[in-house]
Amino acid sequence: MLDQRLDSAMLKTKDSYIVKLKEMGIKTLGDLLTYFPRAYRDEQEFTKINELKTDEVNVLEVKIKTIMTLPTRAGGVITRAVVGDDTGEISVMWFNQRHLKQMFFKGSQIILTGKAKFEQGRIVMVSPKYEKPSSILLHTGRIVPVYPESEEITSKWLREKIFHVLPYAKYFDEYLPSWVLQGEGLLSFADAIYHVHFAKDEEFLKKARERLAFDELFMLQFMALRRKKWWQEGFTGEKKRFSTKLDMVEFYSALPFELTGAQKRTIEEIFTDISRDFPMLRLVQGDVGSGKTAVAAAVIFAMIKSGYQCVLMAPTEILAKQHYKNLVNLFADFAFNIQMLTGSMSASEHDAVVTQMATGTCDLVIGTHALIQEGITFPKLGLVVIDEQHRFGVKQRAKLKTQGFPHLLNLSATPIPRTMALTIYGDQDLSILDELPPGRTPIVTRLVPEAKRKDAEFWVSDQVAKGHQVFIVCPLIEESEAIQVKAATLEYERLSKEIFPQHKLALLHGRMKGDEKEAVMKAFSAGEINILVSTSVIEVGIDVPNASIMMIEGADRFGLAQLHQFRGRVGRGSNQSYCFLFTDSNSDDALQRLKFMVQYTSGFDLAEMDLKIRGPGEIYGVKQSGIPDLRMATFSDKELLDRVRSCAERLVNEDIDLKSYQALAKKIAKIESQTEIAEV
């Protein structure tokens, strides 16, 4: 029944609306009923005319005294009415709604919802919502759901159509175990669907949202905990352990810096993992510059010294080359065979590296997606390190698992709140690098108004003259009429000719060929270029210690995560570094987000703020690979998260294969097929 395809007859609407619904992902009756509101308006209380407030929405139940439709000079119409109740009268007007004269007449009862204002000494309501009184009100006089809309599909239209099919909600199967429903005091799924659209009161709405939020978090938790248990209990391969006689002092002595307490703690956690009877599966989260690479290098050193091969996989060629350069320098005193494998290599270079990998003569290979192509083998792979792990799909990461079950270490420079990390990545053990190396000076961040642009550019020019280097980031490669932001190509030309003609500038963007990008970055790193104008390709993998200034155009067009990553490209040397945010946006929300960048230097603090202001959707600007969007739940609800985790742990321990809960098994199988989350 619920899988039935929507058609115009079922909804009593035009075929064009059915097409629009499909474009919104609403194809079946079940899709429509699970198209949840994005917000609600509390319009339960009716107001008398003598109690009208001009600063808030009023709901009136009144009688029409007079109503007329008048033509305008522009060819439209104005409908004017005088309405009243037992406390007074007010004027009402609507524009270009000819049908109102046929719907309402003198003596008709009408419910109006809108704001009132004073106009020429009298109170007027302009274009209020209207509805005929009945035993069931859809658009006012209740808790009114507001839905995500398209150009033609409005909330009002959706309320009418969803209410029409709400009786079918009873056909939704209940899939949560009865002990979960009873123990947690949850509504049935069918009742939750009904009340999330048409709540009898605030308490029912609260219970409906609680049930649906519980479901979203429960699915994530159960799938993650089940993957972890399967990983730990299902392993039958060779145990890959580092040598107990290994002396790490040799490695630590080669480091040009002292490890932080967080780095030392994380390395010990990893070594404990490696000593267990199943392969490691750990996520290391660290802010920009927190030293994740040094942690990975310590583990790579231990595994190579113990006789195993290692892989480090990065999402971009720029980042892979950066890792290759850093690790070759770090391991310069050791006789390690370190190779790189990327898609831009020649066939002969590619084949030579693949042969060394297959024969076991290569100790460490660093590369991109090229590492998981068909035909690549490792005879003694002991460790896989995946940087910026959220950039890879779950199935892409899973391919490396087939190489003899190596230890898997995931790295992420996109800090997210701990509660969220434990829910999404519950299949992995979690380490957090929450310290920056000593000597790092906090980056000064400023939101620069347009009136101060010239001053900022003059100051930057002076800093360049003193030997400092500058990044300038623009959101687009080419100008767009739809999004009026600085385009890298045009900005490069403007800056070169008008603002910084005395300095050496270069342009970098994703459409350039690999060798062109490499040449630009090599010149910038060598100090041959003063100012690099770029798109977001510099988000990760760029390490130029002499670069101390980051200028970001159209900053409101980027998410907080990206802005924080950009800022992390500077501050890597001994000089005080600066980040300037430019925007022409007047949006309060956009400006508030940019002020957070000024206020907070910690990525974890920014993540927490992003969670609070934006909710659970694409949190912190990152759409997590393989993770379904949350529409009701929030990762900031620790009390609900604890309840969910407790139930998920019990179910994993009692019936991991869901043999007694076929409806739940079917539901989870559908989610896994849609999100690629089934594999580790």
- 423 and 303 in a single domain? The answer is yes
Write down which residue in 532, 565, 600 finishes a domain.
600
For residue 12, is pLDDT > 80? yes
422 within domain boundaries? yes
d(CA 183, CA 181): 6
242 within domain boundaries? no
Among the listed residues 290, 444, 303, the one whose alpha carbon sits nearest the alpha carbon of residue 364: 303
Q: Could you give the 3-state DSSP secondary structure of residue 65?
A: strand
Q: Count Cβ neighbours within 10 Å for each residue of 380-400 and write b for 16 or more, e otherwise.
A: ebbbbbbbbbbbbebebbbbb
134 within domain boundaries? yes
d(CA 243, CA 302): 8
Backbone angles phi, psi at 88, to 5 degrees: 160, -175
Contact 436, 572 (CB under 8 A): no
d(CA 561, CA 539): 10
Average pLDDT, the chain: 86
Contact 283, 397 (CB under 8 A): no
Mean pLDDT over 425-434 rounds to 86
- pLDDT tens across 395-412, in order? 555 666 677 788 989 998
**What's the 3-state SS for 134-154?**
CCCCCCCCCEEEECCCCCCCC
- 450 and 423 in a single domain? The answer is no
Write down which residue in 600, 634, 652 finishes a domain.
600
Mean pLDDT over 226-236 rounds to 81
Sequential DSSP letters for 233-295: HS--S------TT--THHHHHH-SSPPPHHHHHHHHHHHHHHTSSS--EEEEEE-TTS-HHHH
For residue 170, is pLDDT > 90? yes
Percent of the chain with pLDDT over 70: 91
Mean pLDDT over 582-596 rounds to 89
How would residue 539 be classed by pLDDT, with cut points 50, 70 and 90?
low
The alpha carbon of 538 is separated from its chain's Cα centroid by a whole number of angstroms, namely 19
49 within domain boundaries? yes
- 138 and 175 in a single domain? The answer is no
d(CA 317, CA 452): 37
27 within domain boundaries? yes
Mean pLDDT over 544-567 rounds to 88
For residue 507, is pLDDT > 80? yes
Q: Specify the pLDDT at position 616.
A: 47
For residue 191, is pLDDT > 90? yes
Q: Specify the pLDDT at position 135.
A: 64
For residue 629, is pLDDT > 70? no
222 within domain boundaries? no
- 113 and 166 in a single domain? The answer is no
For residue 165, is pLDDT > 80? yes
28 within domain boundaries? yes
Q: Specify the pLDDT at position 636.
A: 74
Give the Cβ contact number of residue 404 at 10 Å: 18
Q: Specify the pLDDT at position 120.
A: 76
For residue 621, is pLDDT > 70? no
Cβ neighbourhood burial of 458 (10 Å; 0-12, 13-18, 19+): exposed
Q: Specify the pLDDT at position 401.
A: 63
- 363 and 273 in a single domain? The answer is yes
- 291 and 315 in a single domain? The answer is yes
Mean pLDDT over 326-352 rounds to 91
- 412 and 467 in a single domain? The answer is no
Among the listed residues 677, 678, 660, 673, the one whose alpha carbon sits nearest the alpha carbon of residue 180: 660
Domain that holds residue 151: 1-38+147-199
Write down which residue in 181, 199, 217 finishes a domain.
199
More confident residue, 236 or 178: 178
Give the Cβ contact number of residue 496 at 10 Å: 17
For residue 355, is pLDDT > 70? yes
- 593 and 469 in a single domain? The answer is yes
CATH code where residue 453 lies: 3.40.50.300
Q: From edge to edge, which strands make up the β-sheet containing 364-367?
A: 338-341, 364-367, 309-313, 381-386, 407-412, 281-286, 429-433
DSSP 8-state class, residue 498: I
Q: Specify the pLDDT at position 460.
A: 95
- 284 and 388 in a single domain? The answer is yes
- Rg (alpha carbons) of the chain, rounded to whole number: 30
CATH code where residue 84 lies: 2.40.50.140
Among the listed residues 98, 60, 99, the one whose alpha carbon sits nearest the alpha carbon of residue 82: 60
Contact 26, 6 (CB under 8 A): yes
d(CA 414, CA 563): 11
Q: What is the largest CA-CA distance in the chain?
A: 96
- 377 and 450 in a single domain? The answer is no
Contact 605, 543 (CB under 8 A): no
State the pTM of this model. Answer: 0.72
For residue 679, is pLDDT > 60? no
- 592 and 480 in a single domain? The answer is yes
For residue 622, is pLDDT > 60? no
Two tokens at 105? 């007449």
572 within domain boundaries? yes
Among the listed residues 323, 335, 339, 336, the one whose alpha carbon sits nearest the alpha carbon of residue 376: 339
Q: Could you give the 3-state DSSP secondary structure of residue 325?
A: helix
Give the Cβ contact number of residue 515 at 10 Å: 9
Among the listed residues 56, 68, 61, the one whose alpha carbon sits nearest the alpha carbon of residue 84: 61
Q: Specify the pLDDT at position 680.
A: 36
Q: Which amino acid is at 671?
A: I
Beta-carbon contacts of residue 262 (< 8 Å; ≥ 6 apart):
286, 290, 291, 432, 433, 434, 435
Cβ neighbourhood burial of 200 (10 Å; 0-12, 13-18, 19+): exposed
For residue 678, is pLDDT > 50? no
- 353 and 488 in a single domain? The answer is no
Number of domains in the chain: 4
- pLDDT tens across 32-90, in order? 999 999 889 888 888 888 888 887 889 898 999 999 999 888 888 999 999 999 888 99
